[in-house]
Amino acid sequence: MSAGLWLIGLGPGNLDHMSKKAIDVARACSERFLEGYTAILPPYQEDRLEDFVGKWERIMRPLVEDPEKLLKLAKEEPVALLIVGDPMQATTHVDLEARCDELDIDFNIIPGITATALAVSLSGLQSYRFGRQVTIPYSYGDYLPSSPLEMIYRNYDNNLHTLVLLDLDPTGMGVEKPTPMSPHDAFTILQKMEKKMVEGGKKISQPVKNLDGVLLTDISLDSQKIIAGNLSEISEYNDGWIHCLIIPSKMNQNEIDAFERRKIV
């Protein structure tokens, strides 16, 4: 292949969901880098990656946000940046397109299935009824924003469901290998946000402990599990590698039936 930067989607976490084109293009590139901080592969899937695409090297936040090395290589040869999910879901990757355009470097995208899209489908809730998605961050020292919970309540009050992603990086630096947040930690952090809102005089739709939720664990993997119930209940289910939540607003009858089928027995 000619020189350029190829952003290649690996799919939701199970490499068996990679497209044939993604595999073929990755194999044909001269250099392969796995972007390891916006999303991650489970360790045993990482162990399989070389069999799918060839030898690769991990690249973390500093070398993606300041991609001089990456772009210098891409100017001379085909370079693959391997990304879990779909490449253009992160603003960092959108910035890479702009940088390639400035330097006249060929820029290409091979899309991948996203865990976020699968989460909506697997929840049994209707996709058109979702509002803006949010991420629950780890607290950094004494700093913990309440804006994620405020957005959940805003969606809730507008009768919209919320897809809630859980932070991967306790340090906030994007340098060390990520540590996925557990459901229990997510629930505890939401309660801290609630307390901060109440102390600041902000309205809450209802206490966090009373919210319903759908917990989706290890989407696309053999260990995939989907359970529904009260947030305080499902937060006790911490088995698995990586999790996300859906907090529904008022559900129609079809959604209620789907929720009940997933409910903790």
High-pLDDT (> 70) share of the chain, %: 100
Q: State how far Cα 253 lies from the chain centre.
A: 29
Token output for 62? 């500093």
Token output for 87? 């490449």
Token output for 42? 């489970």
Token output for 7? 């952003």
Token output for 220? 């696309």
Token output for 253? 């009858």
pLDDT in tens, 30-86: 999 999 989 999 999 999 999 999 999 999 999 999 999 999 999 999 999 999 999
Which domains are present in the chain? 4-113 (3.40.1010.10), 116-261 (3.30.950.10)
Q: Is 13 exposed, middle or buried (0-12, 13-18, 19+ CB in 10 A)?
A: buried
**Taking the chain, what is the end-to-end CA distance rounded to the nearest angstrom?**
54
Among the listed residues 2, 77, 89, the one whose alpha carbon sits nearest the alpha carbon of residue 33: 77
Residue 133: which residues within 8 A CB-CB, separation 6 or more?
A: 116, 162, 163, 164, 165
pLDDT, one tens digit for every residue, the chain (265 residues): 899 999 999 999 999 999 999 999 999 999 999 999 899 999 999 999 999 999 999 999 999 999 999 999 999 999 999 999 999 988 889 999 999 999 999 999 999 999 999 999 999 999 999 999 999 999 887 889 999 999 999 999 999 999 999 999 988 888 888 899 999 999 999 999 999 999 999 999 999 999 999 999 999 999 999 999 999 999 999 999 999 999 999 999 999 999 999 998 6
Q: State how far Cα 146 lies from the chain centre.
A: 20
